[in-house]
Amino acid sequence: MKRVALLVQYDGSNYSGWQRQKNAATVQELLEQALFKISDHTVNTFAAGRTDAGVHASGQVVHFDIDCVIPGNNYSDVLNSILPSTIRILESVEVKDTWHACYSVMYRHYRYVIHNSKFPNLFINNWSWHRYQKVLDEVSMSNAAKRMEGKHDFFAFQKSGSNRINSITTIKNIDIKRVEDLILIDIKATGFLYGMVRLIVGQLVLVGEKKISSEIFTDRWVNKKKNDVKESAPAKGLCFVNAVYEENVFKKINNNDFFPVFLIKGFS
């Protein structure tokens, strides 16, 4: 048996998230089906982070244990020949059996893209939220968001149905910037609650549209006013950018940001 790590990119538009489910197409299910074809036995996969239905990943990290003669660095080519074009393995490497895609993570990075233009753009529609009603004030959004950095209880930004023991996590950094009509919201944290990023973005948009103040935004999460947090951003604008480890196990792509830059080149 050997442990193999994968760097995975997928367009989540037509998938019900990462995790295997009954009667729904998921990325994990298709990946495990492909591994079964290769090895002729059931292979369980473990991801750095679970993505919900419609959420994308530009640098998801997955590992599995397998008894197969294929060298660790060849799984990317073999799996890409089986998987649909919406799922691509960027790199595969053999790792120590103590290394874990989820538990060895130092922090995870999500990015949310808002297309803040009066006019739609079909080329980025599946990867962004077209919020066109008002010009968003990204400076006010950034000022409100910065207060969340550090270790806090984010109960207000956790959707119902979570099985976490508590809602405490550490946000390392939040960065919000505008590139012409695109607003990029980058959040790096040790862990994310169920639905956390989309709920945060939904509230930050209210701040950007001057519908609530930054003080109200802060009061809602600091005082756990979950019932006041009703707006959630759509899934399609969210992307799991990557997971960061103490040691970079992937050598071919040595970059902490795998987000598809073609989305923002035309706006720079």
Domains of the chain: 2-103 (3.30.70.580), 105-239 (3.30.70.660)
Q: How much is the pLDDT for 162?
A: 73
Sign of the four-CA dihedral 59, 60, 64, 69: negative
**Is the full-model pTM beyond 0.75?**
yes
Q: What is the pLDDT of residues 67-102, one digit of tens each?
A: 999 999 999 999 999 999 999 999 999 999 999 999
Q: Is 19 exposed, middle or buried (0-12, 13-18, 19+ CB in 10 A)?
A: middle
Q: What are phi and psi of 106, to 5 degrees?
A: -85, -45
Q: What is the mean pLDDT of each run of 10 residues along the chain (268 residues)?
A: 96 95 94 95 95 95 94 94 96 96 95 95 93 96 97 94 85 95 96 95 97 97 95 96 91 64 53
Q: Determine which helix (DSSP H) or strand (DSSP E) holds 139, and give its type and residue range.
A: helix 138-146
Query: What's the pLDDT score for residue 232?
Result: 94
Give me the catalytic one of 52, 65, 175, 181. Answer: 52
The per-residue pLDDT for 268 is: 44
CA distance 43 to 48: 17
> To which residue do tokens 């393995």 refer?
89
Q: What does the pLDDT read at residue 259?
A: 67
- Identify the bridge partners of residue 5 per DSSP, sorted by sequence position: 63, 93
Residue 52: active-site member: yes
Buried b / exposed e over 132-146, threshold 16 CB at 10 Å, is: eeeebebebbbebbe
